[in-house]
Amino acid sequence: MDWAALLLFFTVIIVLLAGFPVAFTLGGVALIFAAIGVIAGEFNEALLSGLPNRVFGIMNSETLVAVPLFVFMGVTLERARIAEELLDTLSGLFGTLRGGLGISVTLVGMLLAASTGIVGATVVTMGLLSLPTMLRRRYSPEISTGTICASGTLGQIIPPSIILVMLGDVMTSAYQQAQLDMGIFSPKTVSVGDLFAGALVPGLLLVLLYILYIIVVAIVQPNAMPAHRSAADDRTSLGRVLRALVPPLILVFAVLGSILAGLATPTEAAGVGAIGALVLAVSRRELNYPRLQEIMRSTLKISSMVFLILIGASVFSLVFRGYGGDDVVRALLESLPGGVVGAVIVVMLVMFLLGFVLDFIEITFVVVPIVGPVLLAMGLDPVWLGIMIAINLQTSFLTPPFGFALFYLRGVAPPEVTTQQIYRGVIPFVAIQLFALLLLAAFPELVTWLPDRIYGS
């Protein structure tokens, strides 16, 4: 009945494409397949008795408690209009330079990524705030939309990110399972802190590559990004720059620094971030009771979605393994030409294509637990693999015609900006992403150096 596991996987994909809710699709389709297997005598119903323990494990996970706290931090900072003030300030600082506004948008995207970690919210916020300004200053629609989409997806990779928190929890389980499969009964562990440290250099590398591309375009095609002549009263003072930059930077460094320095767990640091975001919102007089209710309601919705998908994915994973799906995947990957290199290329390609139709959360909770133990058993570094997956999916979310970031921006872009212009604008940034992936593949030390220096692992 090995074929039943593959049929289950493809059935789930088809039902998701039909538009059914993710969590109920994962759990419901899996239970239907399990019931059919029990009736046919091909599935051991005793496996289903493990479901309560799996759900309790999710509820009892200290690492996953960080998810709603980071979501609360991100939503609060978004409602506090941090992005608006940052963009105004950096535009005044760099806007008089040719390409300066594009650099400002990239830097604000980086800071929002480190502050919120919510990709969709970042792209929409940047689209609403910066796209009209860029078009008004005669920036080409292509470079404007490409810069916004690319900088908005930095929340995938720049820590602290809720996506890396979820991926870290899944990679921890996959790494331990891989070691147990190899006969190592005192397995090493990989933490969310390891992924945060591993993501820092690649994330900053991407920001640097984006800025270099913008500078090159500004030199080669000056009409695409003209300099802005500002009036005397538009000049940005040092005090204004410090007021806009210092508070969010202190918050980010407090959260990320405490994790990297080993002073706090990701969950504890997320609690600090949530309180810090509230203090920041209050200090800017952007918080009142109705807005607090809105923040809490939004946090509840996002967190509930994440955990409901995780429970559905646990049901799917249990049934998939009950049909021997993990053995099928292992045999398939081990039989590929090129050994571990061939297996990594195929997995990355499959995830890239799935990124067109599935969200990162679904891929993290469904696909990574299936392929992760197999790849890690081949000797791959878990931190390197996790960061490669994150950047690969970030690239997928940028790639026309199905990239999620493109749909987010299309929804808030003015009518005069065409879909074709958005597609043309992101293609150079997709090429930059692919170049970064090749760099990380050729030089894994770009990912592993900082975790080794910090944690000595």
Same domain, 53 and 145: no
Cβ atoms of 249 and 273 closer than 8 Å:
no
Q: How many CB atoms lie within 10 A of CB 211?
A: 18
Same domain, 34 and 90: no
Same domain, 253 and 299: no
Going by the DSSP 8-state scheme, the letter that residue 156 receives in this structure is G
Same domain, 148 and 250: yes
Residue 457 has pLDDT above 70, yes or no: no
Same domain, 76 and 124: yes
Residue whose pair of structure tokens reads 């759900």 in the numeric block:
55
Residue 232 has pLDDT above 60, yes or no: no
Judge whether 151 lies within some domain: yes
What's the total number of domains in the chain? 2
Written as six digits, the tokens of 70 are: 């980071």
Judge whether 243 lies within some domain: yes
Torsion angle of C-alpha atoms 360, 387, 323, 307, degrees rounded to 10: -40
49 is in which domain, residue-wise? 20-60+290-322
- Give the pLDDT score at 410: 87
pLDDT in tens, 104-153: 889 888 888 776 666 666 788 788 888 888 888 889 999 999 999 999 88
The letter for the amino acid at 209 is L
Judge whether 361 lies within some domain: no
Prior bond to 401 cis, omega within 30?
yes
pLDDT in tens, 384-437: 999 999 999 899 988 888 788 888 888 888 888 898 999 999 999 999 999 999
Helices (H) and strands (E) in the chain, counts: 21, 0
- Give the pLDDT score at 116: 63
Residues in Cβ contact with 138 at an 8 Å cutoff, skipping those fewer than 6 apart:
226
The answer to whether the Cα torsion of 362, 365, 371, 376 is positive or negative is: positive
- Give the pLDDT score at 28: 92
Judge whether 327 lies within some domain: no
Across the chain, mean pLDDT equals: 86
- Give the pLDDT score at 302: 84
Indicate the residue among 305, 322, 339 that finishes a domain. 322
**Interval 364-389 mean pLDDT:** 90
Same domain, 395 and 306: no
Q: Higher pLDDT residue, 335 or 434?
A: 434
Same domain, 38 and 115: no
Going by the DSSP 8-state scheme, the letter that residue 366 receives in this structure is I
Judge whether 268 lies within some domain: yes
Lowest mean pLDDT among 87-91, 334-338, 406-410: 87-91
Residue 206 has pLDDT above 90, yes or no: yes
Same domain, 52 and 76: no
- Give the pLDDT score at 386: 93
**Percent of the chain residues past pLDDT 90, beyond the cut:** 27
Judge whether 4 lies within some domain: no
- Give the pLDDT score at 3: 84
- Give the pLDDT score at 119: 67
- Give the pLDDT score at 118: 65
**Interval 76-94 mean pLDDT:** 79
- Give the pLDDT score at 239: 80
pTM above 0.95, yes or no: no
Cβ atoms of 144 and 126 closer than 8 Å:
no
Q: Report the alpha-carbon distance of residue 111 to residue 74 in Å, rounded.
A: 11
Judge whether 146 lies within some domain: yes
**Is residue 441 classed exposed, middle or buried when 0-12, 13-18 and 19+ CB atoms within 10 A define those classes?**
middle
Same domain, 392 and 268: yes
- Give the pLDDT score at 347: 92
Angle between helix 404-412 and 141-152 (nearest 10):
120
Same domain, 128 and 261: yes
**3-state SS track over 120-154:** HHHHHHHHHHHHHHHHHCCCCHHHHHHHHHHHHHH
Backbone φ and ψ for 405, nearest 5 degrees, come out as -60, -35
Same domain, 153 and 77: yes
Residue 195, SS3 per DSSP? helix
Helices (H), 95-231: 100-115, 119-136, 141-152, 162-181, 192-220
Same domain, 25 and 107: no
